[in-house]
Amino acid sequence: MNTILSNGTPISYKIYGEGPATLLFVHGSFIDQTYWKEQVSFFKEKYCVVTMDLAGHGESGTNREEWTLQGMAEDVVNLIKELKLKNVILIGHSLGANLILMAASAYPDPVIGFIAVDNFKNLATPLPPEYESQVDEIIAGSQKAYADTNEHYARMVLLTPQTPQWIADKIVAAYRNSYELMGQQTLPQFFVMDRIERAALPLLKTKMNLINVNYMPTNVEALEQNAVNGYALIEIAGTCHYPMLESPKALNEALDEVIDGVLEQKESVRV
């Protein structure tokens, strides 16, 4: 197992292949880097591909007293620095997309591209006031019945009745079995993500490329208002938040298209 030490915590990573760019894949909440296996297989012949387990996830360490999204974003930056990665295209799913936004804003120099997978559907937009009581209930529930609350959230927000059963079972198990202290401390931060996004967006130097699943619509108006360096949106068909499981071929094709565009733009700028 390859690891670096970041904020005192071992961060597990894997690296494959070589090429003109480095694709750094960052997974979402309560899952791990193995979810990217179809992307690794597809892209490792053309590019350097790096995957990582966020702290408290997968094979990375759990030895933190304080769990913050800022700390997890710093882990992404520290991996880039430690491995001396260049020409980095950041690819983040769900929470991973928020973390790469924070990382790219804090350490922009090696980053040439930014791709979010099924996130920023209401970019920099606060939750409506009528949801505040539900948020309070979810946070309180996480403290009292962590596994049950996580399962309820996954079924309510991330899955649909049409989601293939094997995917639903896999996600529910991942959410129920996630590291409790990390989950309890990071959960309240999810509900103020609009503030984090508003702080990071002015510092992002690349266009936001989004590949979203159409089971839940994307608020294009919010993108137009808040994506300061522009955006591009590709929507793919699906019934849940996990296209790498449900539609890996469609996701790979969309990623390939976006990556080609990033490299073409980089080449045209250099010329």
Place of tokens 């920023």: 120
More confident residue, 268 or 189: 189
Tell me the average pLDDT across 50-67.
Answer: 97
Q: At what angle do helices 180-190 and 146-153 cross, to 10 degrees?
A: 50
Distances from the Cα of 196 to the Cα of 39, 49, 97, 132, 156, angstroms: 28, 27, 12, 18, 24
Report yes or no: 104 and 205 within 8 Å, Cβ to Cβ.
Answer: yes
Neighbours of 18 (CB within 10 A): 12
Express as a percent the part of the chain with pLDDT over 90: 94
CA of residue 147 relative to chain centroid, distance: 22
What confidence category does residue 269 fall into, taking pLDDT thresholds of 50, 70 and 90? low
More confident residue, 169 or 265: 169
Which pTM does this prediction carry? 0.97
Q: Which pLDDT tens digit goes with each residue over 152-179?
A: 999 999 999 999 999 999 999 999 999 9
Q: Which pLDDT tens digit goes with each residue over 126-138?
A: 988 888 888 999 9
Give me 104's structure tokens: 């790219």
Instruction: Say yes or no to pLDDT of 8 above 80.
Output: yes
Q: Which pLDDT tens digit goes with each residue over 221-244?
A: 999 999 999 999 999 999 999 999
Out of 18-32, 71-85, 194-208, 256-270, which region has the weakest mean confidence (pLDDT)?
A: 256-270
Tell me the average pLDDT across 181-191.
Answer: 96
Instruction: Say yes or no to pLDDT of 34 above 80.
Output: yes
Tell me the average pLDDT across 27-54.
Answer: 98
Express as a percent the part of the chain with pLDDT over 70: 99
Neighbours of 164 (CB within 10 A): 14
DSSP characters for the chain? -EEEEETTEEEEEEEE---SSEEEEE--TT--GGGGHHHHHHHTTTSEEEEEPPTTSTTS----SS--HHHHHHHHHHHHHHHT--SEEEEEETHHHHHHHHHHHHS-TTEEEEEEES--TTTT-PPPGGGHHHHHHHHHHHHHSHHHHHHHHIIIII--TTS-HHHHHHHHHHHHTS-HHHHHHHHHHHTTHHHHHHHHGGG--SPEEEEEETTS---HHHHHHH-TT-EEEEEE--SSS-HHHH-HHHHHHHHHHHHHHHHHHHHHHH-
* Nearest one of 123, 95, 94 to 243, comparing CA atoms: 94
Whole-angstrom distance, CA of residue 119 vs CA of residue 131: 19
Instruction: Say yes or no to pLDDT of 184 above 60.
Output: yes
What confidence category does residue 247 fall into, taking pLDDT thresholds of 50, 70 and 90? very high
Whole-angstrom distance, CA of residue 97 vs CA of residue 159: 19
Phi, psi for 12 (deg, rounded to 5): -80, 140
pLDDT of 271 reads 47
Pick the CATH number of 2-127+192-270 from 3.40.50.2020, 3.40.50.1400, 3.40.50.1820, 2.40.110.10: 3.40.50.1820
* Nearest one of 177, 193, 187 to 141, comparing CA atoms: 187
Phi, psi for 75 (deg, rounded to 5): -60, -40
